[in-house]
Amino acid sequence: MRHGKYPFVIGFLFAPVTLYVVFVIAPYAQAFQISMTNWRGLSAPQWVGFDNYRRLLDDGSFWKAVQHHGVLLLALPLITITIALFFSFLLNVGGKSSGGQRQGVWGAKFYRVVFFFPQVLAVAIIAVLFQMVYRPNESGLINGVLMKFGFDPVLFLIRPNLALWSIIAVLVWQAVGFYVVLFSAGMASIPGEIYEAAEMDGATKVTLFFRVTLPLLWDTLQVAWVYLGIAAFDAFAIVAVLSVDGGGPDGATTVLAMEIYRNAFVYSKYGYASAMGVALFFLTLTFAALTLRLTKRESVEY
Amino acid sequence: MTQSTLPPTPAALPPKTGDPGAPGGRGRKSPRSEARVFAGLGHIALAVWAVIVIVPILWTFLAAFKNTTEIFSSPWTLPAELRWENFSRAWTTAHVGRYFINSVIVVGCSTFGTMLLGSMAAYVLARYKFWGNRAIYYLFVSGLAFPVFLALVPLFFVVKNLGLLDTHTGVVLVYIAYSLPFTIFFLAAFFKTLPSSVAEAGLIDGCGHTRLFFQVMMPMAKPGLISVAIFNIIGQWAQYQLPLVLLSNAKDKWVLTQGIADISVNAGYEADWSGLFAALTIAILPMIIVYAIFQRQIQAGLTSGAVK
């Protein structure tokens, strides 16, 4: 084993490590440094300490964005996981059982394939698609129907208190299928005897779901919550493409990624944008740590 | 829908509080009708969601064949005729063809690079003991915890200073670098599970470390490599923010997501709506075909990160 080991190890690691340090580690490290400067890209950056962070505290659009992340963070996982759990339960345990073999409802395979498909599409493409779906006149998919029946068109993306929820709906539309497949994999590994025993004791489907499936799926749920939470902290592509002028109307759908992009590449406020990036980083970190702590509980061995 | 009329649970015994005189529970009504209602409602819910997923996509495909008048006056009808010229207009005039080919080039190169470099690093980190092994491993894996947006500003200047701004090379290198954490995390775990007896036999037979990797270990790791490759292809194909920042001034180098989003965002009232629908169709249809063929591998590949 020893012969020529080090040249080989170094040879194999050199390219990946170099690439990674140059394009990932170095920028991350520099982000903290730039966030302490008033750099605008032209002259040399000046050290301003925590000034950018102090300005963040008074920045209305920053707090709006943080608030939207809060809404996304609660709504996106809650809605997606509820729908996905319901569907995956139907698809895996909802049907009849024969010979101790749990079966899903009729057509389970078809549903799983269809539900998962949006996951394959790029978010930017989906955003364009839903721009058409949501269009405020008779050419929109939804308003075309509503207006045909004589209703007033719903201004999905234009009404400030509706816009964010319209965007959340699209994110749910895309995500549900992924979590149906994920939960299905988790449910498949629950032994059939447990369901059988519960049914012997007269458990209904609803009881089965809450007393058997849910506790045994806890670890997978936790993973799903973290994943969706991380998605809630991004949401750049969907907001940038779908919402009215990038986070509008009037900042009603803006997210931190959008503000970072705007400050950096439209206003050239590189120092300030980096400070927002650092804030986003700590928010994400806090969320991940909190979730893992709050959802920690004895996992059931089976 | 026939399922709902069948007796749902043959094994169901009466509940403890129930009538003890009904053996086997066959004659009992409540659990049966409860199950029937549940299955019925379930079917409706599933069908409704399937419609919600399919209809917007199908509607886009239909609209791609219409003209602007039809799109506005009768969004719900079939197109009066199949206007293929919408597609040729989208492909050439709106440069969707250019964007599509750019996406193929960029994702092809970057996925190949990611798989090559990622598996090399993962293999060495998983199966060789050397000083600094753990440190390098955690350096890579820590990348999973950082949002790309934290690095966006400095990354832009790193790429700019290397003279790679507005080039495909720059985008490819950045994609590879940001795909390495997950690729190495997943593949290192995979390489660890491979039996060491084969590797030892190879080394005794005089096979070098490099040959051992490419000719013995890579083929053995094929299932894992396929999962990660699919994960990377779909992730890199869907990228929007990185090309937006790194290719902003070179419109002829744009990738598909960026190009179509640009058509849509900048479309005013005079916009070519049918062309936009055709462009969307061009973006979505290949994904449906690929998904139809590799459906199982894609589901496994995309969920592989979460199942681990």
Work out the average pLDDT over B160-179: 93
Cβ-based contacts of A170 with chain B (< 8 Å): none
Q: Tell whether the model's pLDDT for residue B21 goes beyond 50.
A: no
Between B34, B128, B257, which is nearest A5 by CB?
A: B128
Helix (DSSP H) and strand (DSSP E) numbers for chain A:
15, 2
Q: Tell whether the model's pLDDT for residue B19 goes beyond 70.
A: no
Higher-pLDDT residue of A147 and B118 is: B118
Put simply, the answer to whether A227 touches B306 (Cβ < 8 Å) is: yes
Inform me whether the C-beta atom of residue A258 falls under 8 Å from chain B C-beta atoms. Answer: no
Inform me whether the C-beta atom of residue B76 falls under 8 Å from chain A C-beta atoms. Answer: yes
- Least Cα distance to B68 among B50, B80, B58, B54 occurs for B80
Work out the average pLDDT over B143-162: 87
Q: Which fold has domain B94-307?
A: MetI-like fold (1.10.3720)
Put simply, the answer to whether A274 touches B154 (Cβ < 8 Å) is: yes
Cβ-based contacts of A36 with chain B (< 8 Å): none
**Six token digits for residue A67:** 């608030």
Percent of chain A with pLDDT over 70: 93
- Least Cα distance to A270 among A32, A91, A37 occurs for A37
**Residue B7 binned pLDDT confidence (cut-offs 50, 70, 90):** very low
Whether the CB-CB separation of A96 and B3 falls below 8 Å is answered with yes
**Residue A75 binned pLDDT confidence (cut-offs 50, 70, 90):** very high
**Six token digits for residue B204:** 């005794």
How many residues are given for chain B? 308
Question: What is the crossing angle of helices B273-307 and A123-133, to 10°?
Answer: 130
Whether the CB-CB separation of A39 and A271 falls below 8 Å is answered with yes
- Structural domains in chain A, CATH included, are 57-294 (1.10.3720.10)
Chain CA centroid to CA B10, Å? 41
Give the per-residue pLDDT at B2: 34
Gap from B120 CA to chain A (nearest CA, Å): 6
Whether the CB-CB separation of A298 and A222 falls below 8 Å is answered with no
Measured between CA atoms, the residue of chain A closest to residue B33 is A204
Work out the average pLDDT over B174-202: 88
Work out the average pLDDT over B66-71: 78
Inform me whether the C-beta atom of residue B15 falls under 8 Å from chain A C-beta atoms. Answer: yes
**Six token digits for residue A237:** 């592509």
Inform me whether the C-beta atom of residue A10 falls under 8 Å from chain B C-beta atoms. Answer: no
> SS3 of A156, please?
coil
Cβ-based contacts of B57 with chain A (< 8 Å): 129
Q: Tell whether the model's pLDDT for residue B28 goes beyond 70.
A: no
Give the per-residue pLDDT at B5: 36
Query: What gap in Å lies between CA A253 and CA A166, rounded to an integer?
Result: 10
Percent of chain A with pLDDT over 90: 21
Work out the average pLDDT over A76-94: 88
Averaged pLDDT score across all residues of chain A: 84
Work out the average pLDDT over A270-292: 87
| Burial bucket for residue B270 (CB in 10 Å: 0-12, 13-18, 19+) | exposed
Query: What gap in Å lies between CA B306 and CA B308, rounded to an integer?
Result: 5
Q: Tell whether the model's pLDDT for residue A256 goes beyond 50.
A: yes
Whether the CB-CB separation of B178 and B110 falls below 8 Å is answered with no
Work out the average pLDDT over B57-66: 87
Q: Give the pLDDT confidence of A193-245 residue by residue, as tens digits.
A: 888 888 788 777 778 888 888 888 888 888 888 888 888 888 888 998 888 87
Which DSSP string corresponds to A228-280?
Answer: HHHHHTT-HHHHHHHSTTTT-STTTT--HHHHHHHHHHTS--HHHHHHHHHHH
DSSP state of A210: I
Q: Tell whether the model's pLDDT for residue B40 goes beyond 70.
A: yes
Cβ-based contacts of B178 with chain A (< 8 Å): 23-24
Averaged pLDDT score across all residues of chain B: 81
**Residue B85 binned pLDDT confidence (cut-offs 50, 70, 90):** confident
DSSP state of A153: P
Inform me whether the C-beta atom of residue B132 falls under 8 Å from chain A C-beta atoms. Answer: no
Long-range contact set of residues B170-173: C-beta below 8 Å, sequence gap at least 24? B170/B246, B171/B106, B171/B110, B171/B242, B171/B243, B171/B246, B171/B247, B171/B255, B172/B106, B172/B109, B172/B110, B172/B113, B173/A19, B173/A23, B173/B113
Q: Which residue has the tokens 């992009």?
A: A261
Lowest model confidence (mean pLDDT) among B61-65, B77-81, B88-92: B77-81
Put simply, the answer to whether A20 touches B139 (Cβ < 8 Å) is: yes
Enter the ipTM.
0.86
Q: Tell whether the model's pLDDT for residue B12 goes beyond 60.
A: no
Residue A37 φ/ψ, nearest 5 degrees: -125, 170
Gap from B91 CA to chain A (nearest CA, Å): 16
Q: Tell whether the model's pLDDT for residue B15 goes beyond 60.
A: no
Query: What gap in Å lies between CA B138 and CA B144, rounded to an integer?
Result: 10
Domain with CATH 1.10.3720.10 in chain B: 94-307
Percent of chain B with pLDDT over 70: 85
Higher-pLDDT residue of B177 and B223 is: B177
Cβ-based contacts of A234 with chain B (< 8 Å): 147, 149
Measured between CA atoms, the residue of chain A closest to residue B68 is A139
Inform me whether the C-beta atom of residue A173 falls under 8 Å from chain B C-beta atoms. Answer: yes
> SS3 of A119, please?
helix
Put simply, the answer to whether B56 touches A148 (Cβ < 8 Å) is: no
Between A120, A133, A230, which is nearest B287 by CB?
A: A120
**Residue A17 binned pLDDT confidence (cut-offs 50, 70, 90):** very high
Q: Tell whether the model's pLDDT for residue A278 goes beyond 60.
A: yes
**Residue A302 binned pLDDT confidence (cut-offs 50, 70, 90):** low
Give the per-residue pLDDT at A297: 62
Q: Give the pLDDT confidence of A142-157 residue by residue, as tens digits.
A: 888 888 888 888 888 8
Measured between CA atoms, the residue of chain B closest to residue A106 is B3
Q: Tell whether the model's pLDDT for residue B11 goes beyond 80.
A: no
